[in-house]
């Protein structure tokens, strides 16, 4: 059994199967394989993944988030469903934010980020990100990489970043594994 399989099985043992009333589906038994791959990579990195958070009810446009202090990624299942979004894409996006934190800086050099963002992200979306007041470059980089990278690539990158984290290469304290 591979490490990823063990992580998926552990996550399933601890978290399911159970019903999420907003999705009305068993979360773990009906999740696509690629979502399970991302969950396994997150678990291997010492992260938890949940399908709800109190912030989801406060902002119906919120699709998910990354809580660095709790080493947890959350998805807003009802918002994802209401907006017709892809759960896999949202989870991949949030895990790229985790990778950004593990890397402790930009993943793409600025000239490349600007060129790719201009060619890939619609101008209206860029304006929304800039107007949000958050770190626009970080969010644009994440949105760009979410579009460009496949789920297996993100899972592998997260797993490798977590290994470096455990070896003391660029460790954000909140991301150290709970059970080394």
The domain limits of the chain are: 3-167
The per-residue pLDDT for 166 is: 72
pLDDT at 25 over 50: no
List C-alpha distances in Å: 64 to 21, 53, 139, 141, 170.
Answer: 17, 9, 13, 17, 25
Q: Cβ of 141: how many Cβ atoms within 10 Å?
A: 22
pTM, two decimal places: 0.76
Residue 6: the pLDDT is: 58
pLDDT at 140 over 50: yes
**Res. 60: pLDDT tops 50:** yes
Residues β-bridged to residue 20? 25
3-state secondary structure of 132: coil
Q: Which of 20-29, 51-60, 127-136 has the least mean pLDDT?
A: 20-29
pLDDT for residue 74:
95
**Mean pLDDT computed over 51-65:** 91
């Amino acid at each position: 059994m591979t490490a990823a399989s063990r992580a998926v099985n552990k996550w399933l043992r601890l978290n399911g199967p159970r019903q999420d009333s907003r999705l009305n589906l068993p979360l773990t038994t009906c999740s696509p394989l690629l979502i399970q791959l991302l969950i396994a990579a997150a678990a291997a990195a010492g992260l938890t993944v949940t399908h709800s958070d109190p912030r989801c009810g406060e902002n119906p446009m919120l699709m998910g988030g990354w809580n660095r202090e709790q080493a947890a990624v959350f998805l807003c299942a009802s918002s994802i469903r209401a907006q017709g979004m892809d759960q896999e894409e949202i989870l991949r996006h949030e895990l790229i934010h985790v990778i950004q934190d593990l890397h402790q800086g930009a993943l793409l050099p600025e000239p490349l980020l600007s060129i790719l963002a201009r060619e890939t992200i619609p101008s209206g979306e860029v304006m929304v990100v800039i107007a949000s007041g958050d770190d626009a470059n970080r969010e644009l980089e994440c949105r760009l990489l979410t579009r460009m990278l496949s789920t297996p690539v993100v899972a592998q990158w997260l797993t490798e970043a977590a290994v470096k984290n455990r070896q003391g290469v660029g460790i954000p304290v909140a991301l150290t594994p709970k059970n080394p």
